[in-house]
Amino acid sequence: MGTQQQKHWPSGANRRFTEPIRMAQFHSHSQRKGSGAHSPRSDAHVPCLGVPNRITIAVGNETVLVDRVKVSTLAEVTKSVPEITRIVVDASHDEVSANIAQACAPTLFGEDVVVVIEGIDNLNDDGVDSLKAVMADLPENVWLLLTHPGGVKRKPLIDAAIKAGAEKIDCKEIKRGPDTASFLIKEVTRHKRKMTPAALNSLVESLGQDLPALTNAIGQLCSDVEEDPIDEIHVRAYCEGTAPISGYAISDSLWEKKTADAIKLLRQNTLESDAGRVGVTTITALASGLRSMILVGGSAPGASDNEVAREAGVPSWKVKTLRKQWSRWSGDQRKLASLVVALAEADPAMKGGIKIGSALDPEQKLFELEKLVTRTH
């Protein structure tokens, strides 16, 4: 397996540091080639296996899809060369133009590099000129991986990348609701498995519209369940003990500022179920509940419950509850912001407990979850 070094120009400083990281293996048997025009792909749920284009651009703001493009593209390049260096350039840096030129410049020993520039819509004018110049005359040892959220800002850069032979991959946002089901069906197919409609519905009912949680669940089910198709019984067995519905009950109690109820439910679920899975599903439910509450709270005045539900990607019957929750938090923005940070910090600690070798034992997980819940008091 090829090795990869990472170099990163952080914002606020024109310097770089190196950190070795491990890359996942992908099955690829193609040999390294130069760039060539490719047709745009819109099925970013399917990793592009084989040697990638010298320039790849992911366009859209669906995080699940953009992350998948980054992982698969970097893995392909790593498989194509014995040793690779990844350089991450901060698109919003004042000296981004010089950083792009330096990152993509030919080296004395022909070092192979992947230059990652996320959010190229944030490039200043000099950065735009520098990127265009690099794409027009890309050294043989350099691959470019670009992301753009879509929209009109710096859209000509997308056209310039395609003209330079880039592969454009569509990562536009998946609207929560009917499109979620379509996405999940493709996810199951990607794993070369089948799942009954009842099983998919059960999964969505348990985990909500959180795409990362849903994709992780599908991956786990496809790995653990030998029978095909995966049915509702398998989904219920997977969810039983993970307390996904109770996780959302904890979320509702938390965002309604019923701290005591939330802690009681949390302790009960931890006693009855595997603490590692309870931690993951509880954090997922809290994050999903927070996102839904903020989206509903920020909806247009006078919008109907159905209109708000479509925009926020939640069931219409849930809108009234979310509005009530938002009314309790709208005047406490500072504490809400601190909880966003706390959730982000707790997420990796909880997810580290799914497999053997976790950093936190069950008691520590419960302590961290209770500490998070009590911050709402």
Nearest to 187 by CA among 207, 224, 212: 212
Please name every residue paired with 339 in a beta bridge, in sequence order, or none if there are none: none
Res. 6 pLDDT band, cuts 50 70 90: low
- CB-CB neighbours of 2 under 10 Å: 15
Q: Specify whether the CB–CB gap between 101 and 89 falls below 8 A.
A: no
Res. 302 pLDDT band, cuts 50 70 90: confident
Q: What is the pLDDT of residues 27-49, one digit of tens each?
A: 222 333 334 444 444 444 433 44
Q: Specify whether the CB–CB gap between 209 and 184 falls below 8 A.
A: no
Please spell the DSSP secondary structure of 173-226, one letter per residue: ---SSHHHHHHHHHHHHHTT--B-HHHHHHHHHHHTT-HHHHHHHHHHHHHH--
CA distance 185 to 251: 27
pLDDT above 80 (res 155):
yes
Say which residues have a Cβ less than 8 Å from residue 123's Cβ, sequence separation at least 6: 91, 96, 117, 131, 154, 157
One-letter amino acid at 90 equals: D
Please report the pLDDT score of residue 47 as a whole number: 39
Please report the pLDDT score of residue 351 as a whole number: 66
pTM of the model: 0.54
Residue labelled with tokens 């496809």: 222
85-99, 168-182, 214-228, 355-369, range with the lowest pLDDT = 355-369
Q: Which of 4-8, 36-40, 100-104, 173-177 has the highest mean pLDDT?
A: 100-104
Q: What is the pLDDT of residues 48-68, one digit of tens each?
A: 444 568 999 999 989 889 988
- CB-CB neighbours of 190 under 10 Å: 17
CA distance 4 to 254: 42
Residue labelled with tokens 């992982």: 71
Percent of the chain scoring above 90 in pLDDT: 27
**Percentages helix, strand, coil for the chain, rounded to the nearest 5?**
55, 10, 35
157-166, 235-244, 299-308, range with the lowest pLDDT = 235-244
Domains of the chain, CATH where assigned: 3-170 (3.40.50.300), 178-374 (1.20.272.10)
Find the mean pLDDT for residues 301-314: 83
Percent of the chain scoring above 70 in pLDDT: 77
pLDDT above 70 (res 102):
yes
Please report the pLDDT score of residue 277 as a whole number: 67
Q: What is the pLDDT of residues 185-235, one digit of tens each?
A: 999 999 999 999 888 887 887 777 778 878 888 988 898 888 899 988 888
Nearest to 372 by CA among 351, 347, 343: 343
The dihedral formed by the CA atoms of 162, 166, 167 and 171, expressed in degrees to the nearest 10: -70
Tell me 28's DSSP state: -
Q: Work out the mean pLDDT of the chain and round it to a whole number.
A: 78
Please report the pLDDT score of residue 13 as a whole number: 35
Please report the pLDDT score of residue 128 as a whole number: 97
Find the mean pLDDT for residues 261-280: 74
Q: Specify whether the CB–CB gap between 85 and 195 falls below 8 A.
A: no
Please report the pLDDT score of residue 40 as a whole number: 47
pLDDT above 90 (res 146):
yes
Please report the pLDDT score of residue 240 as a whole number: 59
Return the higher-pLDDT residue of 131 and 310: 131
Start-end of H helices in 227-318: 232-239, 244-255, 259-272, 275-297, 305-312
84-98, 118-132, 245-259, range with the lowest pLDDT = 245-259
